[in-house]
Chains A and B, each alone.
Chain A
């Protein structure tokens, strides 16, 4: 019995020495087999238990088991040390992280669409639906139903492309007001983005085709303050939290009161000081708005005594020019790859 303990201690000491000297996991495995394997040194000692008197055998077994557990701990520690060493080696790796990665194969969304999406998203969060409509419209939807009868001088302001005397390319997205209200009873809350056309000579500020987003909210208790709030909210979403909005009285036959809507010039932040974007006024015009005219509500069968509402139309290109500091509106339609790449 007393002879067993020193023998095990001696084996353990040799194992410890050997384990300390080992530096890779294969050698360590060899060590495990040499000491603890099927014909390893400890196994040989364990076989010797059979030769002991039966009364001593349990104690001897326990001694051996304890010694094995100790030795396994030594081997595990060595294994952990070796594994860690391998990681430390991995940690020495260095690559040039500034080396350019290849470009992802993503395309891009046109800036005009991006702005439409931001506007739509802003209003969809408020509960608006977004609808699309035709670009060729009868004059009933573009003018008559919008309280612009034939010969009204305001028709001249919408210098339109005609297909026939009764059919034209819409000069604004407002026909969607009429179409939506005729199809749905109030309340109605829609956004209608789309292409519009006017006979403007093309230059750095004008295109004969452009995009507008129409907004329309008709329900009980809707007032001009809500219109101001909604467009201020939109303008802050598009240009930043400090944005202010200015409403100037104007005239549109389909709204009353009507307003031109300006927002703080995003370039000079409203200071105006020799600013090329706003011409020094500190404001940029984003569109027109107003309370839906009672004649329009009556035309679609709504009762102006019961419901009220507002409508606005904002120019997408105009917002894009201000937002991205684009020098020439024609760049939007030219869609040059470099232009799209810069604004993607």
Chain B
């Protein structure tokens, strides 16, 4: 929210230093995201053009005589074309400082010019929001008034963040209220009494019909004798400083009240509403609305609308329609100030992607009493412009008085850890507008009508802490009691990462959300990952369309970015479709990019490297023995792929990248992958110690000539069974193929180690 400091200062005395104010706001829970500082401007006063002549020597210049109050009139030459006798305008006198120039006496084509008439831009206001040429001021301003101080033109603008619980703080007055409580100063609130007391004539009296309980209050008021003309300078300038474009007095007053006290209003041309009859209801299916900004909306019963007898006038709490809007001929107004159930407004605003200043306030659920205050404030401002206000018509439940909240001062201490006397608690809560009754340790607190977020004692404790200052609460370390929660899964993940680091692998992160570029590359390599992937319903881009079904794909994409040796790993979740839910597999994935080497087709050194590392990892993580059998996996070469198991349960896979995928990812080097399911790993079993046998060990190496499809694991298993009890080690340690064993044979060398136990 843009917060012009000058506007704030109209309700409260504040220190000069804007940084101190910003700091104060931040420490109250309203972070100041930025401070827009204004250039220095001085020496600009209110003047009136009393005479105007053509410049004797220049067609495009005029010479004005300008009264500026007490001192003598000034003669100023100007090139502006929008000047006329009688206008009240800002005048930069000799010596005045403007954003880009300092005014000095000068001759303009022979005429001595004693200053300069100012445009909005020269007063650091957005030029496109004000008249071209010289800015026009109210006639009622005393001549000679310092324009800069009167309108706070040099005061900075704060951009303040308002948390979603603070419906009351979405206004200049709301923030002023907070600062008044924090600084312990008085708030100069504008009067919120409605000037209209006489009921409107029957034919004009507003008739309000609430057909939905989502409208909590509706205040309508007839105003006569309005005129569509520019608003008073103060309002135009305040709006411009707050980032709202000034339009005309009526629209500007409506916006001014919203920004000032937080109540969005809607002004209807009273003549456009038959029988002054307004209805709050659900939209009928197929009903249409053309908004003020000419957007065509098709509505249904989910939308809450304000309608007249002929149809929809506006989307409740969000935006008005084109039919009832103010036009140049408008002389009588029907003001609407209403409050709604925030959720309803929020849903509709989200559905039509219509975020407005009004919806931003209404979706936080405004207090019903604010509707009365807002309408009253608008009526007062219109009255100062000479309009006539009739009595407001109010529909909705009576505004309930807030129920007192019981608060024990000991519970404040219990939650905050500082001594809090009942009096100090009462002091802060009163500063926020609460009514507080103190009885011993016990307080009964009635929040003000604008603080509907205060409903239970903890809300009050927070208010106390906020005003007392969080910095007053001393730091202390808690004494944590022993709990039964286990860290086992985290510990295993951490250990895996450290083991892999020791084995030479670098940990990388890749995206869990993937899209076309990755899935396309997989599809080109013959892998349809799309059908197994979980879809994201509302991705920001096509590249976030799916949850990754594997970590391997991300690692391949990583390796494909550069052609170099690499050993990497990632630990993260892979996602797949479950019955009615999403299955998550915490996965440890390794990838190895090695150098191409010459080797026989029945050997693969890279495979052995990643198998070695994976076995080491698994053995350390589980304390158990790992077995591998040849198998298949969608990412891997069907002949160079092993399924890993522990105690008969599969825990992962290791192998060489499938050549089709290698091609589609343009990976020229040999790539090896391993993927382990962390949740499938059995618990770690601690080893037990066996003292060395006093009998010596001996071994025997055998070379077996075998059919080439007989695997080492089978040889080891058979040898173990055959040798029996004293066999303490069996390991196949060499494979040979070639002339010595014949073309369709291989030779495996196996070492059998024998030793008797004690």
Are B566 and A337 touching (Cβ within 8 A)? Answer: yes
Partner of B346, one of A130, A151, A169: A151
Q: In this assembly, does A128 line the interface, its C-beta being within 8 Å of a C-beta of chain B? A: yes
A184 → chain B closest CB, angstroms: 6
A136-B584, A225-B476 given; A153·B346 CB < 8 A? yes
Tell whether, in the assembled complex, residue B507 and residue A136 are in contact, meaning their CB atoms are under 8 Å apart.
Answer: no
Return chain A residues, CB-CB under 8 Å to B501. 106-109
Residues on the B chain within 8 Å of A335, using CB: 506-510, 558
Sample of 8 more A-B contacts, CB < 8 Å, known A217-B480, A333-B509, A335-B508: A107-B507, A163-B535, A189-B481, A229-B475, A230-B477, A245-B475, A256-B458, A259-B470
B534 neighbours in A (Cβ, 8 Å)? 136, 163
A199 touches B494 (CB 8 A): no
Does B462 sit within 8 A of A, measured CB to CB?
yes
Given contacts A132-B493, A232-B475, contact A107 B584 (CB under 8 A): no
Contact between A161 and B26 (Cβ–Cβ < 8 Å)?
no
| Stretch binding the partner chain, chosen from B36-44, B282-290, B411-419, B627-635 | B411-419
B482 contacts A by Cβ under 8 Å:
yes
Q: Which residues of chain B come closer than 8 Å to A187, judged between CB atoms? A: 480-483
Bound CA–CA A253/B572 (angstroms): 29
> What are 23 contact pairs spanning A and B, CB under 8 A?
A108-B507, A113-B497, A126-B477, A126-B478, A127-B480, A129-B485, A129-B486, A130-B487, A136-B534, A151-B342, A161-B544, A164-B537, A169-B536, A169-B547, A188-B485, A199-B538, A208-B540, A217-B478, A223-B417, A226-B417, A226-B478, A228-B470, A337-B564
Given the complex of chains A and B, what is the CA–CA distance between A230 and B476 in angstroms? 7
Contacts from A to B (Cβ < 8 Å): 105-110, 112-113, 117, 120, 124, 126-132, 134-136, 150-154, 156-157, 161-164, 167, 169, 180, 184, 187-190, 193, 195, 197, 199, 201, 208-209, 217, 219, 221-226, 228-230, 232-233, 245-251, 253, 256-260, 291, 293-294, 308, 332-333, 335, 337, 340, 344
Contact among A113, A228, A256 with B473 in the assembled complex (CB-CB below 8 Å): A228
Stretch at the interface among B128-136, B162-170, B321-329: B162-170
Q: Say whether, besides A223-B414, A257-B465, A337 and B506 are in contact (CB < 8 Å).
A: yes
- Closest A residue by C-beta to B572: A195
**Bound Cα distance A333, B507 (Å):** 11
CA–CA, A167 to B535, complex, Å?
11
B56 within 8 A of A: no
Select from chain A the residue with minimum beta-carbon distance to B578: A136
Is B342 a contact of A153 with CB atoms below 8 Å? Answer: yes
What is the minimal beta-carbon distance from B567 to any residue of chain A, in angstroms? 6
Q: Is the CB of B477 within 8 A of A153?
A: no
B28 contacts partner chain A, Cβ-Cβ < 8 Å: yes
The reply to whether A153 and B538 form a contact with Cβ atoms under 8 Å apart is: no
Specify the chain A residue showing the minimal Cβ separation from B512.
Answer: A209
B417 to chain A, nearest CB (A): 3
Residue B484 is within 8 A (CB to CB) of chain A in the complex: yes
Residues 454-492 of B, flagged 1 when their CB comes within 8 A of A and 0 if not, give: 001011011001100011011111101111111101110
Which B residues contact A (CB, under 8 angstroms)?
A: 26-29, 31, 163-166, 342-343, 346-347, 363-364, 414-418, 456, 458-459, 461-462, 465-466, 470-471, 473-478, 480-487, 489-491, 493-494, 497-498, 500-513, 534-540, 544, 547, 558, 562, 564, 566-567, 569, 572-573, 575, 581-582, 584, 586
A residues near B498, Cβ cutoff 8 Å: 109
- Of B470, B480, B538, the residue contacting A162 (CB under 8 A) is B538
Q: Is the CB of A189 within 8 A of B513?
A: no
Contact of A131 with B478 at beta-carbon distance under 8 Å, contacts A107-B501, A225-B473, A249-B462 already known = no
Inter-chain contact B540/A201, CB cutoff 8 Å? yes
Instruction: Tell me the minimal C-beta distance from A221 to chain B in angstroms.
Output: 8
Q: Which residues of B contact A190 (CB under 8 A)?
A: 483, 485
Contacts A130-B490, A248-B26: A105 and B485 contacting too (C-beta < 8 A)? no
Q: Hey, which chain A residues are within 8 Å of B31, CB to CB?
A: 248, 250, 260
- Of A113, A150, A259, A291, the contact of B415 (CB 8 Å cutoff): A291
Pair A161/B538 contact, Cβ less than 8 Å = yes
Query: When the two chains form their complex, are residues B584 and A135 in contact, meaning their CB atoms are under 8 A apart?
Result: yes
Closest to B490 in A: A130
A219 to B481, CA, bound (A): 8
- Give the residue name and chain of the B residue nearest to A207 (CB): B511
Nearest CB of A to B556, in Å: 14
B residues less than 8 Å from A193 (CB atoms) = 490
Query: Given A163-B535, A225-B476: A249 and B465 within 8 A (CB)?
Result: yes
Report the nearest B residue to A340, measured CB to CB: B506
Query: For the complex, what is the distance from the CA of A315 to the CA of B486, rounded to whole Å?
Result: 23
Q: By the criterion CB–CB under 8 Å, are B509 and A134 in contact?
A: no
Query: Of A109, A157, A167, A229, which is within 8 A of B507 by CB?
Result: A109
